[in-house]
């Protein structure tokens, strides 16, 4: 339960009537009730009072009144108690429930998230039992909490242990800003009791260590062999790699067949080889200065940490297509592109309702997530009819610094993730030096996305072991941070030591694991000297049949693109036709008649009509059309009217979708008033569906 439901859970049956009547008496006359209850009601916040008011009935409804104390229902506590014991038990229950709710709202403020130990959470008074009237003498007294934490009764000591482990350990959960009770209840059930303390099997722990070995081993090898090469490594945040594995595997088990990833420079090379399975030989060939392009493909090159790739992988018997979108140096510009690509893939697969089969994972730096406007624009599109994709998982690789800028100078809120609250996305903050907690959160993020079709944020609080790039000196501006980092063991080392102490993975096995992967890297590096790319993989899949631009020495072929007059008239007839009983606006009706006459005569055809005829002939040829932007259905100058509105029912009718039975469809979406975000989305859509005409229309107005 969450919010007011937490308190309401204690007000069942006689409890509700007892407390509600007392509260009603107190509201009318504070001196009419026992002083202990009067003090309690006076100290309650507005939300707790709202629960009691609801239990009393609406303020405008007649409230039941009892003739005397004998007719007042007594609280549902164990029988045989004296009135003062009943009162004390009821007060303890209410105080405990208020304390539980405070931990659900603010427990993250005392979570131990920083692996560097440079930030110590300040105690918050609302997380102190003393703030609710509890004393040390109350620690071991049983309190009725009505299964709120999965317990009928619990002592204050037990309640605090559950709450501290759940909300103030290596995971900080922000979810009480969500308005949907089902989503909040689901999150509470997932996290309460701190299941991440013992949820992985021995084999799963070994797998996590192996993936950490691959992530750390790759970075260490590159740092040793290519020490002067910029690569924007993932050192300090290597746990991101097993987290991505966990997300993808969880989603694949629930039916996802394709995952599209967008990310900045940091960790891109590691993600390319360890997640999207770019051959190590190909990457090391690029380190050696060779081109990533086959000889028959024209175009300029790019730096390694801009490039993407795609592949098919087998996960639990299922084939899953993974792709990493190329990106420019413009931070977060890739976000809407990836989401648009996912939307196109879903449309092509016919997954237009649930939109779960193709999933986006967007990775961000902490400073960029807080600072770049495209982040908000992409979030704002997430539940809009023309742009929703069934939820995106956002992963923050939180280095706790942006180049040299500290959080106090980078964002005004408490967290870099605060912008995600604008769409009521849950936020999971997790200490990056606790791999098992990270894996728990990664799986939970994928499960949430698959269940609710909404965005969720995983904020992995870690650090950046080197400077902004490998040739930068970070101690110029962050001497204390880098002194702490210099004395810190790597995440893999810490986890290997933990597993050895548990007996899950002996130290010798851990060393053998690292030695074996290092040899794999050495072999790939040696083979890279003779590596040659042999195909342009971006011209496969939906781009099959398309060819690179012709060279100057190749003959140019003119294609006949004319459209027959019959087809034009067929489209024109549909443009001016409305269903029987459809109440078209009189002014629009006159426009439609004028359009019909122009098409019949072939004279006076305006630009908007010509546009509609072009769209219609494409639809008859089987090519879909997508047009989005602010006001595109009507047109800024009232020229298009591609979607007609019934003046009585508000029902919509699109003439271009009613030309012929077997035609393709046009989609026209009025967008949010965003330019870069929507443009990026439709660009991404076009990349994934080259046989659909995808158009973005810029807004002419100034709002």
Neighbours of 12 (CB within 10 A): 13
The answer to whether position 133 is within a domain reads yes
Q: Are 589 and 667 members of one domain?
A: yes
Strands (E) located in 367-500? 392-398, 427-431, 456-461
Q: Is residue 354 in some structural domain?
A: yes
Closest CA to 449 of 394, 522, 529, 499: 394
Mean pLDDT along residues 456-478? 91
Q: CA–CA separation, 326 vs 684, rounded Å?
A: 11
Domain assignment of residue 543, yes or no: no
> Is residue 403 exposed (0-12), middle (13-18) or buried (19+ Cβ within 10 Å)?
middle
Q: What pLDDT band is residue 25 in, cutting at 50, 70 and 90?
A: confident
Averaged pLDDT, 396-423:
93
Query: Distance between CA 390 and CA 392 in Å, rounded?
Result: 7
Q: Is the pTM of this model over 0.85?
A: yes
Q: 134, 169, 204 — which closes off a domain?
A: 169
459 φ/ψ angles, rounded to the nearest 5 degrees: -100, 100
Q: Say if 253 falls within a structural domain.
A: yes
pLDDT for res 290:
63
- How many angstroms separate the CA atoms of 389 and 260, rounded? 12
CA distance 359 to 345: 10
Query: Are 285 and 433 part of one and the same domain?
Result: yes
Query: Are 156 and 258 members of one domain?
Result: no
> Does a structural domain hold residue 556?
no
Q: Same domain for 390 and 463?
A: yes
Indicate whether 422 and 570 sit together in one domain: no
Nearest to 385 by CA among 689, 697, 667: 667
What is the C-alpha separation between 448 and 442, in angstroms, rounded? 10
Q: What percent of the chain has pLDDT over 90?
A: 69
Rounded Cα gap, residues 453 and 450, in angstroms: 6
Q: Which residues contact 598 (CB under 8 A, 6 or more apart)?
A: 604, 605, 606, 609
Alpha helices by DSSP H, listed for 470-536, are 479-486, 491-502, 507-527
CA-to-CA distance for 20 and 22, rounded, in angstroms? 5
Q: How many domains is the chain built from?
A: 3
Residue 610: is its pLDDT beyond 50?
yes
Which domain CATH number covers 398?
A: 3.40.50.970
In this prediction, residue 531 carries a pLDDT of 81
Same domain, yes or no, for 156 and 252? no
355 shares a domain with 233: yes
> Which residue did the predictor score with more confidence, 590 or 529?
590
Domain CATH for 608: 3.40.50.12470
Is there a contact between 127 and 109 (Cβ–Cβ < 8 Å)? yes
Spell out where 295-452 has E strands. Answer: 309-315, 318-324, 358-365, 392-398, 427-431
Verify that 464 and 570 share a domain, yes or no: no
**Tokens representing residue 599 in the block:** 């098409």
The last residue of one of the domains, among 473, 508, 535, is: 473
138 and 194 in contact (C-beta within 8 Å)?
A: no
Bridge partners, residue 642, by sequence: none
- Asked if 623 and 689 touch (Cβ cutoff 8 Å), the reply is no
**What are 61-73's pLDDT values in tens digits?**
334 434 444 444 4
Instruction: Give per-residue pLDDT as tens, 619-637.
Output: 999 999 999 999 999 998 8
Q: 306 φ, ψ to 5°?
A: -105, -15
What band does 551 get if pLDDT is binned at 50, 70 and 90?
A: low
Q: Are 239 and 460 in contact (CB under 8 A)?
A: yes
The four Cα atoms 177, 334, 440, 414 give a dihedral, to 10 degrees, of -40
Give the domain CATH number at 44: 1.10.287.1150
pLDDT score recorded for residue 65: 37
**3 state DSSP class of 550:** coil
Indicate whether 661 belongs to any domain: yes
pLDDT category of residue 291 using cuts at 50, 70 and 90: low
Of 452, 473, 494, the one marking the end of a domain is 473
Kindly state the average pLDDT of the residues 45-61. 48
Q: What is the pLDDT of residues 522-533, one digit of tens each?
A: 999 999 888 877
Mean pLDDT highest for which of 30-39, 51-60, 125-134? 125-134
Tell me: pLDDT of 295 over 70.
no
Strands 171-174 and 258-262: unpaired
Range of the domain at 461: 226-473
Count the Cβ atoms, other than its own, within 10 Å of residue 261.
27
Residue 319 CA to residue 691 CA, distance in Å, equals 25
Cα dihedral value 671, 676, 681, 687, nearest 10: 140
3-state secondary structure 639-700: CCCCCEECCCCCCEECHHHCCCCCCCCEEEEECCCCCHHHHHHHHHHHHHCCCCEEEECCCC
> In this structure, are 334 and 453 located in the same domain?
yes
Q: Are 390 and 301 in the same domain?
A: yes
- Domain membership of residue 555 (yes or no) is no
Distances (CA, A) of 14 to 63, 78, 98: 15, 12, 20
- pLDDT band per the 50, 70, 90 thresholds, residue 86: confident
- Tokens representing 87? 């009162």
Answer yes or no: do 453 and 591 share one domain: no
Q: What CA–CA distances, in Å, run from 618 to 386, 552, 564, 691? A: 21, 30, 12, 10
In a domain, 138, yes or no: yes
Residues 451, 596 within the same domain: no
Q: What is the mean pLDDT of residues 475-494?
A: 94
Q: How many CA atoms lie within 13 A of 521 on its CB side?
A: 23
Whose CA is closest to 667, among 656, 677, 679, 683?
656
Q: What does the mean pLDDT of the chain come to?
A: 88
Rounded to the nearest 10 degrees, what angle do helices 435-452 and 202-225 cross at?
Answer: 110
pLDDT of residue 568: 94
pLDDT classification of 456: cutoffs 50, 70, 90? very high
């Amino acid at each position: 339960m969450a919010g007011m439901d937490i308190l309401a859970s204690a007000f069942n049956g006689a409890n509700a009537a007892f407390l509600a009547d007392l509260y009603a008496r107190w509201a009318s006359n504070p001196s009419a009730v026992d002083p202990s209850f009067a003090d309690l009601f006076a100290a309650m916040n507005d939300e707790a009072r709202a629960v009691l008011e609801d239990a009393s009935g609406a303020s405008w409804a007649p409230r039941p009144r009892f003739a005397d104390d004998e007719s007042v229902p007594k609280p549902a506590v164990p029988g045989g108690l004296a009135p003062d014991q009943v009162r004390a038990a009821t007060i303890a229950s209410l105080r405990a429930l208020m304390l539980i709710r405070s931990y659900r709202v603010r427990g993250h403020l005392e979570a131990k998230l920083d692996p560097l130990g440079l930030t110590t959470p300040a105690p918050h008074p609302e997380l102190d039992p003393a703030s609710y009237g509890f004393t040390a003498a109350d620690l071991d007294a049983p309190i009725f909490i009505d299964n709120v934490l999965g317990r009928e009764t619990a002592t204050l000591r037990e309640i605090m242990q559950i709450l501290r482990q759940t909300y103030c350990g290596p995971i900080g959960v922000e979810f009480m800003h969500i308005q949907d009770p089902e989503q909040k209840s689901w999150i509470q059930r997932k996290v309460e009791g701190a299941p991440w303390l013992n949820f992985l099997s021995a084999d799963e722990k070994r797998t996590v260590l192996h993936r950490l070995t691959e992530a750390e081993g790759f970075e260490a090898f590159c740092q040793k062999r290519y020490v002067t090469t910029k690569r924007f490594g993932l050192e300090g945040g290597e746990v991101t790699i097993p987290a991505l594995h966990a997300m993808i595997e969880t989603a694949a088990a629930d039916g996802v067949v394709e995952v599209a990833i967008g990310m900045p420079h940091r960790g891109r090379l590691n993600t390319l080889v360890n997640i999207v399975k770019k051959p190590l030989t190909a990457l090391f060939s690029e380190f050696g200065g060779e081109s990533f392009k086959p000889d028959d493909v024209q175009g300029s090159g790019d730096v390694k940490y801009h490039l993407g790739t795609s592949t098919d992988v087998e996960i639990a018997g299922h084939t899953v297509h993974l792709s990493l979108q190329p990106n420019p140096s413009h931070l977060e510009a890739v976000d809407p592109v990836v989401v648009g690509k996912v939307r196109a893939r879903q449309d092509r697969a016919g997954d237009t309702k649930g939109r779960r089969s193709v999933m986006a994972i967007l990775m961000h730096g902490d400073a960029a997530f807080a600072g770049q406007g495209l982040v908000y624009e992409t979030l704002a599109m997430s539940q809009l009819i023309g742009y929703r994709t069934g939820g995106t998982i956002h992963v923050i690789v939180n280095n706790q610094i942006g180049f040299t800028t500290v959080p106090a100078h980078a964002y005004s809120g408490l967290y870099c993730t605060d912008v995600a609250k604008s769409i009521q996305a849950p936020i999971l903050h997790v200490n990056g030096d606790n791999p098992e907690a990270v894996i728990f959160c990664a799986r939970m993020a994928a499960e949430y996305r698959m269940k609710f079709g909404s965005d969720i944020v995983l904020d992995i609080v870690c650090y950046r072991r080197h400077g902004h790039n490998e040739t930068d000196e970070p101690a110029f501006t962050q001497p204390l941070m880098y002194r702490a980092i210099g004395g810190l063991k790597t995440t893999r080392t810490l986890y290997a030591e933990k597993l050895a102490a548990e007996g899950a993975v002996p130290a010798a096995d851990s060393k053998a694991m690292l030695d074996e992967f290092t040899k794999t890297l050495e072999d790939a590096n040696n083979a890279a000297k003779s590596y040659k790319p042999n195909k342009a993989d971006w011209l496969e899949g939906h781009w099959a049949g398309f060819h690179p631009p012709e060279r100057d020495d190749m003959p140019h072929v003119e294609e006949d693109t004319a459209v027959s007059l019959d087809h034009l008239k067929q489209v024109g007839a549909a443009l001016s036709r409305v269903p029987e009983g459809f109440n078209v606006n009189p002014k629009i009706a006159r426009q439609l008649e004028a359009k019909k006459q122009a098409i019949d005569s072939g004279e006076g055809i305006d630009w908007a009509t010509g546009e509609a005829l072009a769209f219609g002939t494409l639809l008859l040829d089987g090519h879909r059309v997508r047009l989005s932007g602010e006001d595109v259905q009507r047109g800024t100058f009232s020229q298009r009217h591609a979607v007609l509105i019934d003046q009585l029912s508000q029902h919509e009718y699109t003439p271009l979708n009613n030309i012929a039975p077997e035609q393709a469809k046009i989609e026209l979406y009025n967008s949010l008033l965003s330019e870069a975000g929507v443009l990026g989305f439709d660009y991404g859509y076009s990349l994934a569906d080259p046989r659909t005409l995808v158009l973005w229309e810029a807004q002419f107005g100034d709002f």
